[in-house]
Chain A
């Protein structure tokens, strides 16, 4: 079944924000919004949160333990060699390797998590509701599948009242997002 959407296009950040607010007041569920740059108010209004920093913290914790364990294994258990009279487990000189390899691991793991969670992979084509959102327009998308005609008309008028330059109806077969 095709899915139908009301798409409001805005020129100005202020009008776009007030439109989101008034849609939410009338308890219409906003499917998503698209902006040319990050707009922090949107994150609060749509209650978007990212757990990436927490994940990165645990990646780091894991990496520190893994690297120190690896260094201990290679230098003490697997093939102990005395370098300049230092003990096998010469912890102070392991610190540098641990820091750098931790950074390395956190970077790769966070990138992979970001890519997987945001579904951003080279060559992937996510559904673009309106091409102008990556240029200089602000776009609000509302799913109208379960709404009757009068409700979707109400959404269109609301967005126009708040200063939308254009309100479009679009249908998509599959949504990649």
Chain B
């Protein structure tokens, strides 16, 4: 980040900004005219917005999962990747939160969801509702992933402050560096706080997506009402998050020539994790189908066998199976794990597959439930597509800005692993 970016940076930033502008237009139409501009209807009340919300939240699990699980497992190689993963988390969770907010319809009344003493009774929110749990879970997750990332980057800000010759940078990083000096008092409290935040964030990683899954699991819709959902969602979230980390790291490594820090072995390790999680996903998919058949419940059987495996939504169902359970099996081959094209292509397929999974869950169950007179099909309007494209653009633009102005890697952590100042012991 002490060099100027190439032409590719401006081109990439331009394209993602255009996508973001399209997104802002779609959000403007949604807010000014209402969610009647979407393709959702009485039967399919949740469409692309909830699909994309769950998709982004899933991606938002990577950073924390990465940092914390690998911290607990004492995997030191994580230090080169965890910062990028944490940045990704913070952006993805913010984008995810956009969708339920827009889905409220009158987004300016969103503050009604806060349980504060009010003049409407006081009418409290429903503390038994997973939708409210979701709201607080995401708020807490955003706060904690942001704090975790910021705490980690604090010493690096101080490094930039003390190294830079530009006055503006010195002032800006001096402000955000909060007076960090690297004294023993600072470091010991830093380590304790890191430990505390890491410990409680680990609980949150598991609970946030479990709560998202209860949004569905407490509903009586066929295909939703299952106890498999919480673990299935958490594993799926980590799957999609790690896949997104891989997509980003493959590109970043290629562009910034970071192969010395993020080595082939690191990418290999992520690929091995992905192939393992892919097997779990495959098991979860087959369990769902098996239980639908084993239950003997005709509505469950209809949803799985006539509306997913066959029927109107076969593309999404088989897309999910192929992208999530079959294609990642290519990672058994060392050649695929060691080639950047292989890693990129497979990780993109996983991202796509996880999107299909959420579509499959949200839309197929709603479109054909117990009452055939309620059956409708669902297609998104260009406004819904626009909001999604906009979030993709915002994500890319934010990542590009981050990588331009803020260290990609956890500098102080890499220092402690890279043996500066340890020449004697080598």
Q: Are B127 and A75 in contact (CB under 8 A)?
A: yes
- B120-161 residues with Cβ-Cβ distance < 8 A to A are 121-124, 126-128, 132-133, 136-137, 139-140, 143-144, 147, 154-155, 158-159, 161
Q: Which of A15, A43, A79, A107 contacts B140 (CB 8 A)?
A: A107
B423 contacts partner chain A, Cβ-Cβ < 8 Å: yes
| A172 neighbours in B (Cβ, 8 Å) | none
The interface stretch among B31-39, B246-254, B379-387, B414-422 is B414-422
Provide the residues of chain A in CB contact with B155, threshold 8 Å. Answer: 36-37, 134
Contact B178 A100 (CB under 8 A): no
Check if B2 is an interface residue, CB within 8 A of chain A.
Answer: no
- Given the interface pairs A74-B115, A106-B200, the reply to whether A36 lies near B182 with Cβ below 8 Å is yes
Which one of A121-129, A144-152, A154-162 contacts B? A121-129
Chain B residues with CB under 8 Å of A14's CB are: 421-422, 424-425
Interface: B190 (CB within 8 A): yes
Nearest chain A CB to B83 CB, angstrom units: 14
CB contact under 8 A between A107 and B147, given known A118-B189, A176-B179: yes
- A1 located at the interface, meaning its Cβ lies under 8 Å from any Cβ of chain B in the complex: no
User: Do residues B162 and A132 form an inter-chain contact, with CB atoms below 8 A?
Assistant: yes
Q: Does A143 contact B (CB under 8 A)?
A: no
How extensive is the interface on chain B, given as a class?
A: 35 or more
Q: How far is the CA of A140 from the CA of B276 in the complex (A)?
A: 48
Quick check: is B181 within 8 A (CB to CB) of the other chain? yes
Residues B186-213 near A (CB distance < 8 A): 186-193, 195-197, 200, 203-204, 207, 211
B185 beta carbon closer than 8 Å to chain A = yes
B412 within 8 A of A: yes
Chain B residues with Cβ below 8 Å from A111 are 147, 193
Looking at the assembled complex, report how far the CB atom of A116 sits from the nearest CB atom of chain B, in whole angstroms: 10
| Given contacts A96-B211, A103-B200, A119-B179, A108 and B184 within 8 Å (CB-CB) | no
Cβ-Cβ contact count across A and B, 8 Å cutoff: 193
Query: A48 vs B189: C-alpha distance in the bound complex, in angstroms?
Result: 9
Shortest Cβ gap from A69 to chain B (Å): 13
Interface SS majority for chain B: helix
B413 within 8 A of A: yes
Residue in B195, B197, B415, B425 whose beta carbon sits within 8 Å of that of A136 in the complex: B415
| Chain B residues with CB under 8 A of A2 | none
B179 touches A50 (CB 8 A): no
Interface size class of A (residues with CB under 8 A): 35 or more
B421 and chain A: residue at smallest CB distance: A13
Tell whether, in the assembled complex, residue B162 and residue A36 are in contact, meaning their CB atoms are under 8 Å apart.
Answer: no
B133 and A97 contacting across the interface, CB-CB below 8 Å: yes
A79/B121 contact (C-beta < 8 A), A100-B204, A125-B174 known: yes
- Interface assignment of B176: CB less than 8 Å from any CB of chain A: yes
* Least Cβ–Cβ distance between A152 and chain B, in angstroms: 21
On whether the beta carbons of B189 and A117 are closer than 8 Å, the reply is: yes
Contact A94–B127 (Cβ < 8 Å): yes
- Residues of A whose CB lies within 8 Å of any CB of B are 10-16, 32-39, 42-43, 46, 48-50, 52-53, 56, 70-71, 74-75, 78-79, 81, 83-84, 86, 90, 93-94, 96-97, 99-101, 103-104, 106-108, 110-111, 114-115, 117-129, 131-136, 138, 176-177
A-B contact pairs, 24 of them (CB 8 A): A12-B421, A32-B183, A36-B155, A36-B412, A36-B415, A37-B412, A38-B191, A42-B184, A46-B184, A52-B196, A71-B127, A83-B128, A94-B128, A96-B207, A100-B133, A107-B143, A107-B144, A117-B189, A120-B154, A120-B186, A126-B180, A134-B158, A177-B181, A177-B185
User: Can you name 12 extra interface pairs (CB under 8 A) apart from A34-B181, A93-B127, A96-B137?
Assistant: A12-B422, A52-B189, A53-B195, A71-B127, A79-B123, A81-B126, A99-B203, A100-B207, A104-B143, A107-B143, A110-B197, A123-B175
